[in-house]
Chain A
Amino acid sequence: MAEFRGVDFYGIEALLSEEEKLARDSVRQYVEDNVIPIVDDFYERGEFPMDLVRPLGELGVFGANLPTEYGCAGMNNVAYGLVTQELERGDSGIRSFVSVQGALVMYPIFTFGSEEHRQTWLPKLATGEKIGCFGLTEPDHGSDPGGMVTRARKTSDGYVLNGAKAWITSGSVADVAVVWAKDDDGRVRGFLVEKGTPGFSAPEIHKKHSLRASVTSELFFDDCHIPDANLLPGSGGLKSPLMCLNQARYGIAWGGIGAAMACYDTSLRYALGRTQFGRPIASFQLQQAKFAEMLTEITKMQLLALQLGRLKDDGKVTPAQISMAKRNNVDWALKIARMARTILGANGIASEYPVMRHMNNLESVYTYEGTHDIHTLILGEAATGISSFK
């Protein structure tokens, strides 16, 4: 089968630099050779392909937009976005792993950590020698993280953590967890909790219908003692974890394009090859309407993400702008996956094609990192100046 060539209806290629194109092409080739051939089996088995972690580290995808002095690639945000796009063309679970490692673990260590934290963790997280996870969401506190009940009680030489976190990507395989808890003053602080710390456990959540090639866990803290040195000194208030989420949401906005392109490309090839009533089904108007819609929306997604990246690179991006891209791109990726499924007919549900895997994955992506509804309210506030939920 001919190689995947991307989707570029609007000459967006010309808006990218050589480095941005090279980064995309290199990761695209890696995903084509190493992720796509294996990921469906892992998905079926409900297993994360752990053997990809070190090669992905060699490729440099973890924290690729962080500085080179900590072993990262130092790329701009557009190149980083294109990387997450290509990873999600493989599978949302693989992209989720990379987003968590980079945006939710390396970014807070870089931004809120001490120099010692950075030197200790960032180079090893960049190579994939160490794995990280991010604990903010709790079983009873999702969209309203400020209501968290996990507490960090101060002791003479550190903190004692008590509480639980839920829906934590990579939790059970992580060497270090970035955990958010309220201190004695009720202020949200970030802590580095290392694997094996007494009182800390991270059982995996099994029996999922989505993100099956990804580890999802709960984190439990039962009188878990954390030394003072493991407090992220620069963290303070709910703003700190929300800054991390902005980084991750940015990558997800690009990731949605990858999943959508995979579904579009698969269904287009299928429709051109599948004959009914003596003609390829691509020749039927009802199918053509779907392709017109998919192509238009993918092009809009690309333009949203690209300008968002340029704004981010210029230091001008706002959280609401990130909300718009995450909300729109994941929503449309999911709709495109569903449309593609209908074009493939019964074959759409088969593992032979990636469409239903993407569709099921996108149900999670639609909800995590700020649900679609919460991003709607953020945009509503941006438009009207009136918050509907604060």
Chain B
Amino acid sequence: MKIVVCIKQVPRRDDLLRINADKSWIDESSLSFEANESDAYALEEALRLKEKHGGEVIVATLGPSDASKTIKEGLAKGADRAIHLCDSTFEKLDAVATAKSLAAAIGPEAPDVIFTGLQSDDLGYGQTGVLMAEMLDLPHASIVIALETSEDGKTLRVKRELENGWFQWISMATPALVTIQSGINKPRYASLKGIMGAKKKPVDVRTASDLGLNADALTPREAIGSLYLPVREKQTEMLEGDAETVAAALVARLRGNGVI
């Protein structure tokens, strides 16, 4: 079974975030980075599938050159090789362009299963996996919290998380794409032997032109206008008078604001 798992490197969860000078993004200079949380669960799910069915696990990462630490961690945990989409053209892509780039790299591999995390912890669009499935003409299931495979590995049975505490089990034929929800499993630790072994595993670095993509094809369809911290605002108006007067005034205010 050939399994691709997409892993994004994101700022660490409890890092202190500061907005950069032009308010276009957070200041990344003092941040440390880690694998996106739900992607780490997706990797574990991929490694478990490989342990059950054999085959190989390929890590696919789109990110700057220093994403190599996150890629190496994936290889250390047991992935066999990696594809690193690394090019200045790949900076600040929207979800469509990210999906397009990943699809261009992953498509030719013709994997049986593609895993992504549910969403990235930084941008949080939750679209990359789903868009990629459409681009590659694959069936997909999102927000998956349990995954089973048939003995021959040709059918996936997945449990999806719906709203209001509802769940849905669905079956789908491979090849397919699944977006994984955090908590589906217990990710393993990278062993020290695995970390040393990761140095010998191939990492295929691809640029946009390697994938036949140019800047035009990757032009974002949306952009972040400005980033700002929530502004604290408080306006207090004291209603004076006896209870009846205050109540009437309050109702008038609430009606006026469209609250009631």
Pair count A-B, CB < 8 A: 58
CB distance from B15 to the nearest CB of A (A): 9
Q: Does B191 count as interface, using CB distance less than 8 angstroms?
A: yes
State the majority secondary structure of interface residues on A: helix
Are B192 and A23 touching (Cβ within 8 A)?
yes
A173 within 8 A of B: no
6 CB-based A-B contacts, threshold 8 Å: A3-B14, A18-B68, A18-B69, A26-B189, A29-B189, A75-B195
Whether A74 sits at the interface, judged by CB under 8 Å, is yes
The listed residue with most B CB atoms (<10 A of its CB), out of A23, A29, A68, A79, is: A23
- From A55-63, A286-294, A376-384, the one touching the partner chain is A55-63
Residue B8 CB within 8 A of the other chain = no
User: Which residue, of A59, A61, A74, has the highest number of chain B Cβ atoms within 10 A?
Assistant: A59
Which residues of A lie under 8 Å from residue B69 when comparing CB positions? 18, 21-22
Chain B residues lying within 8 Å of A61, measured Cβ to Cβ, are 192
Residues of chain B lying within 8 A (CB to CB) of residue A30? 189
Across chains A and B, which 8 residue pairs bring their CB atoms closest together, nearest first?
Answer: A60-B192, A73-B192, A26-B190, A60-B191, A73-B193, A2-B14, A60-B193, A22-B195
Complex interface bits, B45-70 against A, C-beta within 8 A gives 1, otherwise 0: 00000000000000000000000110
Rounded to whole angstroms, the CA-CA distance of A21 and B195 in the bound complex is 10
Q: Which residues of A line the B interface, CB within 8 A?
A: 2-3, 5, 18-19, 21-23, 26-27, 29-30, 58-61, 64, 68, 72-75, 79, 83
Contact B196 A73 (CB under 8 A): yes
Q: Which of A18, A29, A61, A64 has the most CB of B within 10 A?
A: A18
Report how far A18 CA is from B194 CA in the complex, Å.
13
B residues within 8 Å of A by Cβ? Answer: 13-14, 68-69, 72-73, 76, 189-196, 198-199
Measured between alpha carbons, how far is A60 from B190 in the docked complex, in Å? 9
Compute how far the CA of A61 lies from the CA of B72 in the bound complex, rounded to whole angstroms: 19
Partner of B195, one of A3, A5, A26, A72: A26
- Contacts A2-B14, A3-B14 hold; do A22 and B73 have CB atoms under 8 A apart? yes
Chain B residues, CB < 8 A from A68: 193, 196
- Name the CB-closest residue of A to B14: A2
* A23–B191 alpha-carbon span in the complex (Å): 8
Q: Which residue of B lies closest to A64 (CB)?
A: B192
8 Å CB contact of A26 from B13, B191, B199 = B191
Q: Are A22 and B190 in contact (CB under 8 A)?
A: yes
Given contacts A73-B191, A74-B193, 10 further A-B contacts (CB under 8 A): A19-B198, A22-B73, A22-B195, A27-B189, A58-B191, A60-B191, A60-B193, A68-B193, A75-B192, A79-B192
Q: A2-B14, A3-B14 are in contact. Are A22 and B76 (CB under 8 A)?
A: yes
Whether A75 contacts B191 by the Cβ 8 Å rule is no
The CA-CA distance from A79 to B195 in the complex, in Å, is 11
| A64 vs B196: C-alpha distance when bound (angstroms) | 10
Q: How far is the CA of A4 from the CA of B199 in the complex (A)?
A: 27
A100 CB → nearest B CB, Å: 18
Point out the residues of chain B lying under 8 angstroms from A64, CB to CB: 192
Are B192 and A83 in contact, CB atoms less than 8 angstroms apart?
yes
B67: shortest Cβ distance to chain A, in Å? 11
Which of B189, B190, B191, B192 lies at the interface centre, i.e. has the most chain A CB atoms within 10 A of its CB? B192
Query: Which of A3, A19, A22, A59 has the most chain B CB atoms inside 10 A of its CB?
Result: A22
Nearest Cβ in chain A — how far from B28, in angstroms? 15
